[in-house]
Amino acid sequence: MTDASSADTPPSSFYDEVGGHDTFVRLVDVFYRGVADDELLRPMYPEEDLGPAAERLTLFLEQYWGGPTTYSQQRGHPRLRLRHQPFHVDPAARDRWLAHMRTAVDELGLSPLHEATLWDYLERAAHAMVNTFEPAGIGPTPPAASAHLPLHPETD
Ligand code: HEM
């Protein structure tokens, strides 16, 4: 016979299972502490204060894992690859990003299954965010400067 109480209860989300808001705040806090001291990543973040960037990442991850949908209410569709386009996300940046995330995930002390699930996602997402294999340069190329570069220096 079906247990009426469990039939009435919606399945719990990953967000709830790992501890909800507090867990995501801790994850992102530790991650951004690493970013703040990272000489490759820190200059990529446009704002003086990393607080607003931390807030955006927290809201995004909470939404992704079944928590509140505040991210989309505030920012619209995530379109993460598009939003990362202005930044020089090469394999080196990805690996630094993942190293800080690894430290942050480890500090959460999740169950092995939750940890593996979260880490698998973060690794795949970080690989998907790479938008250049050019090693040099950080941040957007100023449009005014690039507009004056000839496309074909040999023939122009
Ligand atoms: C692979 C290396 C990555 C680098 C170097 C990187 C760098 C950045 C930078 C510089 C920003 C702008 C800061 C801001 O104003 O919010 C940003 C924003 C953001 N990143 Fe990343 N990121 C990476 C990967 C990821 C991944 C894997 C995710 C998701 C799992 C992610 C989620 C976000 C979100 C949600 C925002 C804010 C988007 C918005 O609403 O404007 N990033 N990232």
pLDDT digits (tens, 9 = 90+) for 22-56: 999 999 999 999 999 999 999 999 888 999 999 99
pLDDT tens per residue across span 71-125: 999 999 999 999 999 999 999 999 999 999 999 999 999 999 999 999 999 999 9
Q: Is residue 43 part of a domain?
A: yes
Q: Is residue 61 part of a domain?
A: yes
Of all atoms in ligand 1, which is nearest to the CA of residue 57? 35
Q: Is residue 150 part of a domain?
A: no
- Would the pLDDT of 65 be above 60? yes
Residue nearest (by alpha carbon) to ligand 1 atom 24: 126
Query: Which phi and psi angles does 82 have, rounded to 5°?
Result: -65, -45
3-state SS, 31-74, equals HHHHHHCCCCCHHHCCCCCCHHHHHHHHHHHHHHCCCCCHHHHH
**What are the contacts of 126-129 at 24+ separation with CB within 8 A?**
126/94, 126/97, 126/98, 126/101, 127/94, 128/81, 129/80, 129/81, 129/84, 129/89, 129/94, 129/97
Structural domain total, the chain: 1
Question: Could you tell me the distance, in angstroms and rounded to a whole number, from the CA of residue 56 to the centre of ligand 1?
Answer: 9
- Would the pLDDT of 138 be above 80? no
- CATH code at 61? 1.10.490.10
**Residue 41: how many CB atoms within 10 A of its CB?**
21
96 Cβ partners below 8 Å, 6+ apart? 38, 40, 41
Residue nearest (by alpha carbon) to ligand 1 atom 35: 57
Q: What is the pLDDT of residue 11?
A: 78
Q: What is the pLDDT of residue 1?
A: 47
Q: What is the pLDDT of residue 121?
A: 98
What is the reported pTM? 0.86
Q: Is residue 33 part of a domain?
A: yes
Q: Is residue 6 part of a domain?
A: no
Q: Is residue 140 part of a domain?
A: no
Residue nearest (by alpha carbon) to ligand 1 atom 41: 83
Q: Is residue 42 part of a domain?
A: yes
Determine the structural domain holding residue 35 and report its residue range. 15-134
Question: Could you tell me the distance, in angstroms and rounded to a whole number, from the CA of residue 135 to the centre of ligand 1?
Answer: 19
For ligand 1, mutation pick of 41, 69, 83 (most atoms within 8 Å of CB): 83
